[in-house]
Amino acid sequence: MINKLRKHPSFETILSLLENISINLVDFRKEELSNSVFYQIVITNSDHTAGIVECAQSHKLLQPRLSVLENNREIEMEVTTPGIQRNMRDFYEFNAFLNRAVKIYDSKISAWIEGILTVVEGDEVTLHHAVIEDTKDIIDEYKIPNERIQKAKLAYAWEDM
């Protein structure tokens, strides 16, 4: 899985501003347009209950700062929440979903593993109560290094709603 979100020049600015209002940055994208710059920012909070109020609050906080960073160019911005079955794009995103159920495709065993994401350390994640697809075995602790993570997404079950 790619691991370059933290290297983006705007990353630290966006992250620190959002942390001040107890919002977790999940992901962001920046696109240069002809007369403006477009930012798509995905947020959550520690309870994973972020909604329209948190999106509006984040937008109001980030818009003027990003405008200054972009030399007062016009900023177009979309702030959203991750949704219930988010496909992860960057290794950094695991940090935003600690203690949530995730599914990870492990290229070493060519199968999906579903479990509770409990640790993100270095370039490795740890799932607790992990189940390998099509088996009934529960693995108490399953560690997966980033180089084996082919795909990842939030796990979702109607029973949890």
pTM of the model: 0.87
Within 8 A by CB and 6+ apart from 11, the residues are 5, 28
Asked if residues 126 and 119 have their Cβ atoms less than 8 Å apart, the reply is yes
Quote the pLDDT of residue 57: 97
pLDDT tens digits for 79-96?
999 988 899 999 999 999
What is the mean pLDDT of the segment spanning 136-152? 95
What is the mean pLDDT of the segment spanning 54-73? 93
Quote the pLDDT of residue 158: 66
What is the mean pLDDT of the segment spanning 7-11? 92
pLDDT tens digits for 46-56?
887 899 999 99
Quote the pLDDT of residue 21: 96
pLDDT tens digits for 18-29?
999 999 999 999
C-alpha 28/C-alpha 137 separation (Å) is 36
- Write down all domains in the chain, each with its CATH number in brackets: 5-80 (3.30.300.70), 98-160 (2.30.30.100)
